[in-house]
Amino acid sequence: MVDSILFNIMLVGALGIFSQWIAWRFHFPAIVVMSIIGLLVGPLFGLLHPEDVFGDLFDPFVSIAVAIILFEGSLNLDFREIKGLGRPVGRIVTIGAFLAWLLGSLSAHYVAGLSWGVAFVIGGLFIVTGPTVILPLLRQAKLKPRPAKILKWEGIIVDPLGALLAVFAFEIIKFLKVEEATATVLLVFFLGSLFATLFGFLCGRGVGWMFEKGYVPEFLKSPVVFAVVILCFAVADEITHETGLLAVTAMGITLANMHISSIDDMRHFKENISVLLISTIFIMLTASLSVDTLLEIFHWQILVFVILMLFVVRPLSIWLSTIGTDLSWQEKTLVGWIAPRGIVALTVASYFASVLLDAGFEDAKILMSLTFALVFATVVVHGFSIRWTAEKLGLASDGQPGVLIVGGSTFSTALSKTLKELKIPVLITDSSWQRLLTTRKAGVPFYRGEILSEQTEYRLDLTPYEYMLAATELDSYNALVCTTFVPEIGRNNLFQLSLRNDRGDDLEELVHTIGGRVAFKEGATWESLNRKVESGYVFRKTNITQQYAYDQYLEERDDETIMLFVKKPSGSLEFFAHDSQTRAEAGDVIVSLMPPSKEFNRIREKLEKQRSDEKLEKDKEQKKQKEENE
C-alpha cells in the first residue's frame, strides 16, 4: 500500500469513475459496482485505507461532499414539478417518515437486540434514502414521471430529516439518561434546526438576488454558489450538529424556485461535480470498513432486521401514509419497495456509533455492521430489481430507445411513420399547429410546444427518447436545440439536418463546435429531404443477412439513395452521419430514403398527364360557357 495522500486521491477518483463506466457499459447499478470495488480494494485486499491516509481530513471531506451532493439534488426540487403530487409527497415525507422511524425502531429493539435508546437513534437514521443512491437508480431505471418524481423528492427531503431525527432521539436519550442534561438542551436543538432552515433560506435568497441584479460576473457564479454552500453547511453544523444538511437543502430548494436562468445554466456543471463526489465518497466509505464489520453482518439478528426493513417496515409505512391519495396500487407498491440507503446513513451512523459508545451504550458497537448490512442489501436488491419491478407494474418507460424529432414537416411525418412500423417510440414536437398538420393527419404522436421552453420540462416526458433529430428549416435553431440538449442526451445521439450553404460559406468548422452531428449525407437539407418525399421518394427497410451482406447492399443501391439509420437486433439505433463510419451487420435493418421505381414514375407521369388533360378540358368548357353567356 502507498501512503502518499496524492496517490490515494488519484486512486479513489480513478476507481470511482471506473466504477461509473463499468456500470454504464454493462448496465449495472452504479452504486453496486462502487460498493463492490470499494470492498475489494479496502477490507478484502487492503490496497486502500482512506481513514488512515487522510486522517483528520477524512470526516470533514466526506461531510462537505455530502452537503454538496444534497444541495445539487435539492436544486432540482422545483415545486412546479410535483403539480398534482403534492399530497402524496407531503404524506410520505411526514407521516411515512414518522411511521418508518417508529417501525424501524421497534424492529431494531425486538429483532436486532438494541436498547431502546440506540434503537430510536438508528430508527431515525434509517428513514433516509438520499440523492446519492436514488438519483443514479432513477437514471438507470427510466421510470414513468410520477413514481420517479415521488422517489426523487422523498430521497432529497428525507435525507436531512433522517439525520435530524437521529440527533433528536440522541438528545432525548441524554435528557432521560444523563443527569446533567436539561430541557435547555432540547430547546437548543430545536432552535438550531429552525436556525439552519432560516439560514439556508436566506443564503439561497441572497445568492439569487445577487445573480438577478448582476452583482456577480458569469465566470464567478459557480465558485460563489459552491463557496456559499460550504459556508451554509459549516455555520449551521457548528451551531447544532447534523443541521448543516438541512441548511443546504433549504438553500437549494429556495434557489430552485426562484427560477433564475443563471442557476439553470450551472445545473449540468454541478451534476458532473455531484457524480464525481458520489463516486469517490462511496469508494472511500466502503474501503474504510473493517473485516470484522463485514463478518458481523452475517449474524442472524442483523439479517432478520434487514429483511424486516425491506419487506415490512418500508412497504407498510408507504401504504399507510398514502391512504386517501390518488396514487395507484402499482405506484404504492413500487415506491414502497424502493428505498436504498447510502452515504448519509453510513457517515451519520459512524458518528453516532462513537458518541453512543462514549455515552455508555455498549450495544452501539454493532451500529456500523447493522448500517452497512442495510445499505449494501438495499443498494444491491433495489438496484437490480427497480427496472424489473417497474416493468411488471407498468411503471417503466418502453425499453426500446425512442426518437424525438424537432420540427413538423412532410419528411418528419414520413420518417416517424417508418419508425412506428419498426415499433420504435417516436414523437414530433413543434410550436406551430400548421407545421404539425401532416403529422396530425397521419396519426403520428406529436407535442405542440416550444422544445426549448422551461415549461416543456414539466409537461413532456422525455425519458423514452434517447435520440434527437433537429429537423426544422432553420439551421441556427437546429444547432441551438442540439447544443441545449447535449447534457441530457449526449452529443453522440444528437443529430441535425445538413446545413444549407446558399452563400458558399465554409460552414464545416461551425458543425464541429456547436450543435449536433450532421445527419445522413452531405446535402440532405430540410428543403431537399422534403422535396424528395413530396416527389415520391419512399422509405425502404432492407434486411442485412449472411447471404445479402452490407457491401452488396452498397453496390446495388441507387446513387440517389439516402441512408438514414440502422436498427440493431437489440433495438438500438445507429444514424448515418457525416462524422461516422456506420456499418450494418447480419441481422440489422437499414432504413433508407430511395427514389421511386421506374414503374412508379411511369404511373405518376400518366396520372399527372391525365390531370393536366382534365384541367385543360375543364378550362375549355368554362371558356365556352362564358362565351355563350356573353
Is 168 a residue whose pLDDT tops 60? yes
| pLDDT for the residue numbered 316 | 94
Give the span between the Cα atoms of 126 and 339, in whole angstroms.
10
Is 605 a residue whose pLDDT tops 60? no
Is 201 a residue whose pLDDT tops 90? yes
| pLDDT for the residue numbered 608 | 62
Residues 544-562 pLDDT 10s: 888 888 888 888 777 788 8
Residues 81-107 pLDDT 10s: 667 777 888 899 889 989 999 999 999
Residue type, 263: I
Q: 544: which DSSP letter?
A: -
Is 296 a residue whose pLDDT tops 80? yes
Residues 275-292 pLDDT 10s: 788 788 888 888 888 888
Alpha helices in 359-398 (DSSP H): 367-392
483-522 per-residue burial string, b: 16 or more CB within 10 A, e: under 16: bebbeebeeebbbbbbbeeeeeeeeeeebeeebbbbbbee
Residues 21-74 pLDDT 10s: 888 788 777 777 888 898 899 888 888 888 888 888 887 888 888 788 778 777
| pLDDT for the residue numbered 506 | 46
Write down the pTM of the prediction: 0.68
| pLDDT for the residue numbered 458 | 58
DSSP 71-98: HHHHTT--GGGGTTTHHHHHHIIIIIHH
| pLDDT for the residue numbered 503 | 43
Percent of the chain with pLDDT over 70: 88
Q: 396: which DSSP letter?
A: B
Give the span between the Cα atoms of 606 and 623, in whole angstroms.
26
Q: How confident is the model at residue 308 (pLDDT cuts 50, 70, 90)?
A: very high
Q: How confident is the model at residue 232 (pLDDT cuts 50, 70, 90)?
A: very high
Residues 132-156 pLDDT 10s: 678 777 767 778 878 888 888 888 7
| pLDDT for the residue numbered 265 | 62
| pLDDT for the residue numbered 412 | 92
| pLDDT for the residue numbered 507 | 46
Is 112 a residue whose pLDDT tops 80? yes
Q: How confident is the model at residue 329 (pLDDT cuts 50, 70, 90)?
A: very high
